[in-house]
């Protein structure tokens, strides 16, 4: 038989009180971005770094077990490392020279030039669950990071910043349902919008592709600049088109979600996008902050 | 010490699950966090298994919900609304039950989780202005409901067997 004890009554009263407080917090957090923001940033930074400290022993246990299994792997080839170092130097030099040439050509054709600060940041947490698909970064508004700044890794787009605290910031990945990135696809540079879509393979789809777009397997996708939000020319990924028969080079794609092929392309089994980054590579990233 | 653990084990478990990200583990290419909402199961199963598991009369539950919001980058109060929905259904169920009946508890868990998804739908569309990914939520709902009996067995029959 159920008897109402003072403790049970206290729990019931507290549930109602906390539900009201939660709803109130949700309203303030949504509509008051001015005063509550400072408190929220301070709370977020404290909790994030405290959680990192608490999580440290668990991470260590996992890394020790991984380390034990790696003992039995082959030794790292020193010669190979030296070769790679030399290659890196050559590529850096090539990059500098190409950047110089690019700037020169941009000046000649009178194209707008954007100047960005490159802020290197550590990925301190990666959350992928029902409520979020985000990464938390170790740089925040104190370091010049602002909402909307693109996040890249080795010149490949990863996502963009959506919220900043004082010393941390939150970025959504391209696969996040809230992600919308203007891109140009293929050699002819068809304009489209890359949309996070958890319902398709790879978690991403192309929308608003022109009707006359002719695409082929392996076509690369780069960012295209709109309102200086994302700098143009950053690699996003490539198209993966699976067909029943060898592909017709003049294949047309209709306008629609996921760039579905038109009726004429009955040979197409599916089309997906291979992103240029892998989530398990995201230990460090670079935030591109537009210089004021 | 044992009575402390008996009282605070639910809070400690919930706290650790929130801190140690379930995103680190994946099954068939989907992260565990996408498939199962462990927090819902922990709150509900512990509340029914242990009469003393009231999460500091709700205050510790609120504390964990704020931590979860900060780590997930959500608006403050989002997790709290969901956690307290689960907690209130579990408290009601714990109040009316005479003895532990798995089927009754499972049905009320399904009801509580459904309420949470309805709240989440309104939060996502009203406060976040996000499209609601029905497939993702459908998979999560099914997996969470299916996973409940396993956790019920562990919590009721192993952890609190002699309590």
ipTM: 0.86
Token pair, residue B13, equals 């478990």
- In this structure, whether the domain defined by A114-292 belongs to CATH 2.40.10.340 is answered with yes
* String of DSSP letters for B44-92: HHHHHH-TT-STGGGHHHHHHHHHHHHHHTPPTTHHHHHHHHHHHHHHH
Model confidence band, residue B86 (pLDDT cutoffs 50, 70, 90)? very high
Under 8 Å between Cβ of A195 and A175: no
Over the stretch B52-63, which tens digit does the pLDDT of each residue have? 778 888 899 999
As a dihedral over the C-alpha atoms of residue B112, residue B118, residue B120, residue B124, rounded to 10 degrees, the angle is 180
Cβ distance A48 to B70 less than 8 Å, yes or no, reads: yes
- The per-residue pLDDT for B147 is 92
Cβ distance B31 to A24 less than 8 Å, yes or no, reads: no
Over the stretch B59-81, which tens digit does the pLDDT of each residue have? 999 999 999 888 888 888 899 99
CB proximity B19 to A under 8 Å: yes
pLDDT higher than 70, residue A1? no
Chain B CB contacts of A132 below 8 Å: 72-74
Q: What mean pLDDT comes out for the span B115-132?
A: 81
Extents of the domains making up chain A: 10-70, 114-292
* String of DSSP letters for A133-202: EEEEES--GGGT--TT-EEEETTEEEEEEEEE-SS-EEEEETTSTT-EEEEEETTTTEEEEEEE-TTSGG
Model confidence band, residue B44 (pLDDT cutoffs 50, 70, 90)? very high
Interface of B with A in 51-110 (CB under 8 A): 54, 57-59, 61-62, 65-67, 70-81, 84, 87-88, 91, 95-96, 98
pTM for the whole structure: 0.76
Token pair, residue B135, equals 């497939």
Under 8 Å between Cβ of A125 and B21: yes
- The per-residue pLDDT for A8 is 66
Pairing assessment for the beta strands A169-173 and A133-137 based on DSSP bridges: antiparallel
pLDDT higher than 90, residue B87? yes
Chain A CB contacts of B120 below 8 Å: 131
Distance of residue B52 Cα from the nearest chain A Cα, in angstroms:
10
Over the stretch A183-235, which tens digit does the pLDDT of each residue have? 888 888 888 888 888 777 777 888 888 877 777 788 888 888 765 667 788 88
Q: What mean pLDDT comes out for the span A158-168?
A: 88
- Pick the closest to residue B25 from A132, A62, A170, A201 (CA basis): A62
Q: How far is it, in rounded angstroms, from Cα A232 to Cα A246? A: 32
- The per-residue pLDDT for A194 is 87
Pairing assessment for the beta strands A116-128 and A284-290 based on DSSP bridges: antiparallel
Higher pLDDT: B159 or B155? It is B155
Cα B120–B87–B33 angle (5° rounding)? Answer: 50
Across A88-107, b (16+ Cβ under 10 Å) vs e yields eeeeeeeeeeeeeeeeeeee
Q: How far is it, in rounded angstroms, from Cα B52 to Cα A31? A: 38
The answer for B58, left when phi > 0, alpha when psi is -120 to 50, beta otherwise, is left
Cβ distance A21 to B81 less than 8 Å, yes or no, reads: no
pLDDT higher than 50, residue A261? no
* Least confident window among A130-144, A240-254, B101-115: A240-254
- Pick the closest to residue A201 from A230, A153, A239 (CA basis): A239
Extents of the domains making up chain B: 45-159
Higher pLDDT: B21 or A161? It is A161
Longest dimension (CA), chain B: 48
Cβ distance B77 to A29 less than 8 Å, yes or no, reads: yes
Token pair, residue A94, equals 């090539």
Structure-token match 């400290």, residue found: A53
Half-sphere exposure of A194 (CA within 13 A, CB side): 32
Token pair, residue B3, equals 């009575």
Across B68-107, b (16+ Cβ under 10 Å) vs e yields bbbbbbbbbbbbbbbbbbbbbbbbebbeeeeeeeeeebee
Cβ distance B96 to A21 less than 8 Å, yes or no, reads: no
Q: Which of A57-66, A242-251, B50-59 has the highest mean pLDDT?
A: B50-59
Residue A285, classed as helix, strand or coil, is: strand
Look up residue A292 and give its DSSP letter.
Answer: -
Distance of residue B3 Cα from the nearest chain A Cα, in angstroms:
17
Interface of B with A in 100-119 (CB under 8 A): none
Q: What mean pLDDT comes out for the span B139-146?
A: 91
Facing residue for A198 by CB, picked from B21, B73, B135: B135
Across A146-161, b (16+ Cβ under 10 Å) vs e yields eeebbbbbeebbbbbb
pLDDT higher than 90, residue B101? no
Look up residue A45 and give its DSSP letter.
Answer: H
Token pair, residue A179, equals 């992600």
């Amino acid at each position: 038989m159920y008897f109402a004890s003072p403790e049970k009554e206290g729990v019931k009263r507290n549930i109602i009180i906390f539900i009201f407080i939660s709803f109130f917090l949700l309203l303030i957090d949504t509509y008051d971005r001015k005063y509550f923001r400072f408190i929220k940033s301070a709370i977020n930074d404290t909790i994030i770094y405290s959680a990192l400290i608490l999580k440290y022993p668990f991470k260590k246990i996992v890394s020790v077990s991984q380390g034990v299994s790696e003992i039995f792997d082959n030794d790292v080839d020193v010669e190979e490392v030296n070769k790679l170092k030399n290659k890196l130097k050559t590529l850096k030099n090539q990059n500098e020279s190409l950047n110089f040439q690019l700037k020169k050509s941009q000046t000649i054709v009178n194209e707008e030039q954007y100047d960005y600060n490159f802020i290197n940041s550590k990925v301190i947490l990666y959350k992928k669950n029902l409520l979020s698909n985000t990464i938390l970064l170790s740089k925040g508004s104190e370091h010049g990071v602002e909402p909307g700044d693109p996040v890249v890794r080795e010149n490949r787009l990863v996502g963009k910043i959506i919220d900043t605290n004082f010393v941390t910031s939150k970025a959504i990945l391209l696969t996040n349902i809230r992600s919308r990135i203007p891109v140009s696809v293929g050699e002819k540079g068809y304009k489209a919008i890359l949309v996070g879509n958890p319902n398709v393979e790879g978690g991403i789809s192309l929308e608003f592709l022109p009707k006359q777009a002719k695409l082929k397997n392996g076509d690369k996708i780069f960012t295209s600049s709109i309102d200086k939000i994302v700098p143009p020319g950053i690699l996003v990924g490539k198209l993966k088109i699976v067909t029943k028969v060898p592909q017709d080079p003049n294949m047309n794609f209709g306008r629609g979600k996921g760039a579905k092929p038109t009726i004429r392309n009955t040979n197409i089994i599916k089309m997906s996008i291979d992103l240029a980054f892998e989530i398990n590579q995201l230990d460090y990233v670079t935030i591109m902050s537009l210089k004021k | 010490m044992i009575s402390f653990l008996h009282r605070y084990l639910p809070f400690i478990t919930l706290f650790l699950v929130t801190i140690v990200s379930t995103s680190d583990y994946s099954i068939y290419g989907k992260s565990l966090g996408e498939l199962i909402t462990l927090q819902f199961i922990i709150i509900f199963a512990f509340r029914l298994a242990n009469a003393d598991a009231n999460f500091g009369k709700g205050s510790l539950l609120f504390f964990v919900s704020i931590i979860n919001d900060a780590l997930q980058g959500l608006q403050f109060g989002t997790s709290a609304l969901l956690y307290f929905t689960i907690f209130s259904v579990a408290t009601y169920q714990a109040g009316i039950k005479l003895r532990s009946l798995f089927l009754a508890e499972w049905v009320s868990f399904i009801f509580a989780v459904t309420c949470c998804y309805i709240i989440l739908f309104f939060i996502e569309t009203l406060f976040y202005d996000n499209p609601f990914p029905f497939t993702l939520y459908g998979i999560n709902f099914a997996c969470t409901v299916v996973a409940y009996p396993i956790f019920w067995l562990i919590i009721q029959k192993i952890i609190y067997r002699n309590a």
